[in-house]
Structure 1
Amino acid sequence: MRIYDLKQKEVINVKDCKRLGYVGDVDFDMEKGCVLALIVPGPGCICGFLGREKEYIIPFCDICQVGNDVILVELKNKEEKK
């Protein structure tokens, strides 16, 4: 699977069935060659004019399943960063 394929999938939290958005970026460990986390941009502020409100950093261990259209994750607590 390519990063482009991941960016086409919607991320959903299985704890509360909340749609988090689409994958915006992937955090890699270049030395080990593995994926550390998925980064999902949060919703826009004031109709999207003033940038993003927050982003979700989803560690690889919190990914439950990658399907054809969605990625199911289990966020134990708020994994948000400003």
Structure 2
Amino acid sequence: MKKQWKPIDSKLNQLMYEYDITVNDLVKRTGYTKQRVNDYVNVIKSNMNIGTAMTFTDAIGCSMEELYVWNHKERRKP
């Protein structure tokens, strides 16, 4: 049986703290409304599609792997 990687939780709020980015910074960098950014930061919206996730990772300067808590803790070695 193959392992399927699935995101469990977004770490958007944590990454904003680590990268010293505010909601207003994300609004400017993404073009999203303040309400939409707040919805994701405060986990009011938890279903972030891949395009939205990539927009946030680009705005923050992090990877997709960093944006989420994943269902597998370790990557398989090739």
TM-score, structure 2 length as denominator? 0.29
Greater relative CO, 1 or 2 (CA 8 Å, sep 6+): 2
More helix by share: 2
More strand by share: 1
Which has the greater radius of gyration? 2
